[in-house]
Structure 1
């Protein structure tokens, strides 16, 4: 779990630096179909807002529609920063690694949930960097971990929330292979 917590922090820091760089480009398109930069950041912010709730033992029914729609408000950067700090604190809380969270797909070990959070931060971080025309490099230890994890779990990627996987070759570098799993081309 310590490795995953480190990867969460590294990818959260990278995503935060990208959010800080948005400036007036909130309406710019992203590689995610039909999502602007604001839509993408809103999605990740809502996801991070769920973390303290779920790790505290609340269910989706308990929370209801609290994090639906625009959660960014008028100061999107500040809202993102507050959400990621609260998520990090909840993940670091005593006993958090041993908990089970109730997701829409059913109960999941906190470790598996954290793996999904890291995945979203890394892949959507790439999306945001692409949209902003900034450095698209994903942290190499994150790439290595996620490539192993999601290659083994590739059947789970056949879900409407993910783009269809693209072909990859043995000559592709690890980041290109990972992005292809998530339907993205570097």
Structure 2
């Protein structure tokens, strides 16, 4: 989360409307997406179902102060994740019942790739933590074929065989490094 957080804090007032590598998303849309995900975490980790949460997090969650909205949502999610036995609980996702560990990996994947997207959009340092990039790549590689055609990611972008971990990850997730 720190990679995404540090980039959100670098967004200039004139950059919220900038395009991102995510089709049809501006910086505002991208950050709103991640704020939305952070708001869901405490609810799902508390045992709520998608139906119980309903549409309360639909729409713009950034309001007049997008950075403040991010900070509050991220703090609430962090508290939910570090609660005793949080990783032992089942969670109810839109795809069905899952483990909190799997849900955590999904959120880590999204935060990591969108940290790169945000950096690219605002002209910030695009380097991801190499250990995080490797862990996320190890998580993604065995599943990427199953995700093909789901709309989660664009088709993989070919990268050189000797590409570094970050380049392989970004390419695998349909971004042009």
TM-score, normalised via structure 2 length: 0.96
Query: What is the DSSP-based 3-state SS (H/G/I as helix, E as strand, rest coil) of the residue aligned with 1:71?
Result: coil
* 1:171 to 2:177 alignment: no
Gaps of 5+ in 2: none
Q: Where does structure 1 lack aligned partners over 5 or more consecutive residues?
A: 1-11
What is the alpha-carbon distance in structure 2 between the residues aligned to residue 157 and residue 169 of structure 1?
A: 22
> Residue 153 of structure 1: SS of its match in structure 2?
helix
The yes-or-no answer on 1:144 pairing with 2:144 is no
Aligned length: 175
In 2: Cα distance, 1:176 partner to 1:169 partner: 9
- In 2, the alpha carbon distance for the partners of 1:144 and 1:69 equals 33
SS at match of 1:184: coil
Runs of 4+ with >3 A deviation: none
Match runs of 1:73-112 below 5 Å: 73-112=63-102
RMSD: 1.0
Q: Which of 22, 25, 29 in structure 1 is aligned with 2:11? A: 22
1:31–1:131 Cα contact (<8 Å) kept: yes
Q: How far apart are the structure 2 equivalents of 1:161 and 1:149?
A: 15
Check whether the contact 1:157–1:182 (CA below 8 A) recurs between aligned residues: no
- Match for residue 13 of structure 1 among 2, 5, 15: 2
Spell out, residue by residue over 1:52-95, the C-alpha distance to the aligned partner (whole angstroms, 9 max, x if none): 00000001100100111101111110010000011011000011
Is the 8 Å Cα contact of residues 126 and 138 (structure 1) preserved in structure 2? yes
